[in-house]
Amino acid sequence: MQQDLSNYRKTYQKSQLTEAEIGDNPMQLFQQWFYEVEASDGVDEPNAMTVATIGLDGFPKSRVVLMKRFTHEGFIFYTNYKSEKGKAIAVNPNLCLSFFWPNLERQVIIKGTAEKLAENLSDGYFESRPRGSQLGALVSEQSEPVTSRDVLEERLQQLEKEYDGQEINRPEHWGGYLVRPVSLEFWQGRPNRLHDRIRFELQEDYDWKIDRLQP
């Protein structure tokens, strides 16, 4: 089977990214871009990001997860620590995050190091989740094979009965990661494929080195 996609064309011309606009703190620029995406009302989940890790088999793997918070320290997401991504991070905590916001013709690509959140922070977020999501964290042995969906549905029904009227505590194998960035690249689509690419790289003195990259 073969399909030629060479005629797919798009002109990028919605915005620009100049040195005068970026400031000296990439997290502040990320916050500005994120708020602009939210306000644009053109992306269902602006906090959806791709997380790329190096798996135990030596291959990179990417998947989309939801960022739940960002601060001056970095980016936070939650998962099962025993999942494929959790096992990969335990061996190699260096990973890549990327955001793609097509309605504004923007990408952000982040290299960073992941570390587990403090347990009390993971506890607090778990308590805020809908009860169904709490039970889901107990039901699923994430990334492990299962014979059928019926198995998962049966486990859920059993746990619904077991925890009826009871508080559900966060399981030890589930929690958050903070990704501390060492590099952030902001990509803004421009005409003629001469896109704006501005990269911030963290230096030993914790200042950010800023470079414009060729598209």
The length of the chain, given as a count of residues:
215
CA distance 201 to 215: 18
Lookup: tokens for 99: 């955001």
**Does an H or E element contain 97, and which?**
strand 94-101
| Residues noted as catalytic | 193
> Cα angle vertex 16, ends 10, 21, to 5°?
160
Q: How many helices (H) and strands (E) does the chain have?
A: 6, 9
Cα(75)–Cα(147) distance, integer angstroms: 35
7 SS3 class: coil
Query: What is the spatial distance between Cα 142 and Cα 144, in angstroms, rounded to a whole number?
Result: 6
DSSP lists the bridge partners of residue 180 as: 113
Rg over alpha carbons for the chain, rounded to the nearest Å, is 20
Integer Cα distance of 19 and 79 in angstroms: 36
DSSP designation for 118 = P
